[in-house]
Amino acid sequence: MLEKGLYHRPPYLPIPVGIDFIKTENFFDGFFSDKRTLNGPEITNIFFNLKKSLITKAVVTGFYQVVNNKDAQRILKKATGIKQKHIETFSQLLTKDQLPAPPLWDSDVSDSTVPPFSDKLMMYLTGFLFGTAIAYYGAGLGGTMRSDLALNYEQFILEDLKFAEDWTDVMIKNQWLEQPPKAVDRKKLSES
């Protein structure tokens, strides 16, 4: 993949020459004062979430052009817009600190309009990708020490949760969402 130019390495950080200690009380600032440069864990989370968003957008773009159900088309179009916004934010965060951001994969999506999967499966996979995004954004939130990054992650989680609600409505409407196994309702049993 490196030889073909398809693999983009994460940003490189210089090897430290010694131990550095935090010397300022505004280490967590990010809103009003000068922002410090990103640290290693923040860069790692941003880069990983950016790559995950790039993949999600490319996959959902492919699904959007082949899906037949009108509700699914609407949801998938919304999904591409959400991921585009997240990609732009993550890319800007890296480039502000002169770090490389990988390119979009949209041009790698074929021009086929023949669905490789059922609408149900494509929608399920989209929901799965957004569900994992919420989990990884939570990990990014837990690993950041800049308040502006924390706000970005919180906003992205809320946007993905709102999308998940709309996605669930379409899945239920089309009877595509199976009920997972659940615990026995003992109270209901005792009342019958």
Give the domain ranges of the chain: 40-175
How open is the CA angle 9-131-73, to the nearest 5 degrees? 95
- Residues 66-78, mean pLDDT to the nearest whole number: 97
Mean predicted lDDT score pLDDT of the chain? 90
Give the separation between CA 104 and CA 165, rounded to whole angstroms: 27
- Residues 116-142, mean pLDDT to the nearest whole number: 97
Give the separation between CA 8 and CA 29, rounded to whole angstroms: 30
- Residues 3-20, mean pLDDT to the nearest whole number: 76
Instruction: Name the architecture of domain 40-175.
Output: Up-down Bundle (1.20)
Q: What's the pTM?
A: 0.86
- Residues 106-116, mean pLDDT to the nearest whole number: 92
Query: Is pLDDT of 146 > 70?
Result: yes
Q: What pLDDT is attached to residue 124? A: 97
DSSP assigned state of 21: -
